[in-house]
Amino acid sequence: MDSLTQIVLGAAVGEAVIGKKVGNRAALYGAIAGTIPDLDIFASYFTDTVTALAIHRGFTHSILFALLSAPIFGWLVSRYDNYKSFKGWTLLFFLALVTHPVLDAHTTWGTQLFWPLDIRLAFKTIFVVDPLYTVPFLIFLILALFQKRRTKKRRIYNTLGLTLSTFYLSLTLIFKGVAYKKFEDTLSAQNIDYIKLDTRPSPLNTILWNANIETKTDYLLADYSFFDTLAIAFTRYPKNHHLLGNLINNEKVKRMINISKGWFTITRIDGELYFNDLRFGLLNTTPGAEDFVFQYKIEVDASDNPHFIEKEKGKQDAKQLMFSLWERIKGN
């Protein structure tokens, strides 16, 4: 999830653990702990694109990391804070650190919660930014922090924030199930043979859902809004994996394919090869569009080593996405 959401979650967890004993300092340290796992993004400044993608949401998003680092952070804070409980601070840091990847596991990218096992949990029930999850949560947290630390109101507000956010997260599982069934029934009704079906929410909401469907030669992309009245339409995108040629055997290419979980197409534009990660869809909902959210230009150097360069996205892309999303959410 986005940084603000993880800060709010960490702060609320910190408040729940020892807020009654240390007041707003619990929320402060919880917020700090809630941001620590995402420090792995700095890997992009020191490694190539593929390695940085592989590292993201890896070790720092694991239970092992929380177990190893929580006692260290707990010891440091207990040494300098007036509240000297090593156990209390360690519990705060552990729960704030571990709830971060648990929440991230519900997004499309997922997380390696059980690192070093090569298992990436990705339930794909919520987008990385979802105002319906974050805003009510933030409001209740602010209300709680403005109460005296021993008052009942403070605990009630914080508990309400945690409860409502968890309830909404649970609802997204139901929404995903409904959307999945709709895609599945439509594929059956249209006699489309497919290998895999994958669904996820579109940006900023859980009303409009996207689907990737794999067939032998193509991928089908489609979307479905709970306000739709017309049948789902599927758009075909050729896999074009053959365009990789001998690059298909390159270790870096194999890693990129593994990162995308096999959901990728290759396109040739003006003589250049592009790797399109289908898991995150398109920048607009126009049928046949090929401006994928994550598109990487493949440059091959003199030693035949491929380098993946992410296509930059600008403000205009964001405006286009917001406009097309709003129009599509309203139904077809």
What does the domain layout of the chain look like in residue ranges? 3-173, 190-332
Sign (positive or negative) of CA dihedral 158, 159, 164, 169: positive
Measured in whole angstroms, the distance separating CA 167 from the mean position of its chain's CA atoms is 18
Amino acid, res. 165: S
Q: Which residues have a Cβ under 8 Å from the Cβ of 322 and sit 6 or more positions away?
A: none
Q: What residues does 236 pair with on adjacent strands?
A: 220
* Cβ–Cβ < 8 Å for 241, 248: yes
pLDDT number for residue 207? 97
Question: What separation, in Å, do the N-terminal and C-terminal C-alpha atoms of the chain show?
Answer: 29
Q: What are phi and psi of 199, to 5 degrees?
A: -125, 155
Q: What residues does 225 pair with on adjacent strands?
A: 208
Q: Which residues have a Cβ under 8 Å from the Cβ of 119 and sit 6 or more positions away?
A: 112, 113
Least Cα distance to 267 among 284, 289, 290 occurs for: 290
Measured CA to CA, the distance from residue 95 to residue 17 in angstroms comes to 9
Q: Which residues have a Cβ under 8 Å from the Cβ of 318 and sit 6 or more positions away?
A: none
| Average pLDDT of adjacent 10-residue blocks, the chain of 332 residues | 96 97 97 95 81 87 97 97 95 98 95 92 95 97 96 97 98 98 97 96 95 96 96 95 94 93 93 93 72 91 90 79 88 88
Measured CA to CA, the distance from residue 178 to residue 174 in angstroms comes to 6
Measured CA to CA, the distance from residue 93 to residue 35 in angstroms comes to 11
pLDDT number for residue 7? 98
pLDDT number for residue 332? 86
The secondary element (H helix, E strand) that includes residue 211 is: strand 208-214
* Cβ–Cβ < 8 Å for 293, 282: yes
Describe the crossing of helices 152-189 and 131-145 by its angle, rounded to 10 degrees.
180
CA dihedral 137, 143, 145, 146 (to 10 degrees): 170
Predicted model pTM = 0.91
Sign (positive or negative) of CA dihedral 254, 258, 263, 268: negative
CA angle 181, 182, 188 (to 5 degrees): 85
Residue 297, both tokens? 């230009």
pLDDT number for residue 43? 76
